[in-house]
Amino acid sequence: MKYVTANEAKQAFGQVMETAQREPVLIRKHNRPAAVVLSAQEYDRMRSVNVAEFSRFCEVVSQKAKKKGLTEKKLSKLLADK
């Protein structure tokens, strides 16, 4: 991963975007991470991985809840009680 300051990114944004096609570019502001620029392709890949991972997590939680006796009716009642 390449690192640049916010000022460097501002001055050479075209170069930052070009570099981001090959690797993520972390932009620092006041020596702290402020943003990451990455290619649209890499963003889409990461997003799809996160969606798939979340779906697997939900399935695991659902199976555990069913094993412990949680039904749609019980869940509705739990959510309605406030």
pLDDT at 81: 66
pTM over 0.95: no
pLDDT, tens only, 21-38: 999 999 999 999 999 999
Question: Are residue 52 and residue 27 in the same domain, yes or no?
Answer: no
What is the DSSP secondary-structure string of the chain?
Answer: -EEEEHHHHHHTHHHHHHHHTTS-EEEEETTEEEEEE--HHHHHHHHHHHHHHHHHHHHHHHHHHHHTT--HHHHHHHHH--
Question: Are residue 74 and residue 53 in the same domain, yes or no?
Answer: yes
40 within 8 A of 33, measured Cβ to Cβ: no
Q: Is the pLDDT of residue 75 over 90?
A: no
Range of the domain at 11: 2-38
Q: What angle do CA 46, 10, 4 make, to 5 degrees?
A: 60
Q: Specify the number of domains making up the chain.
A: 2
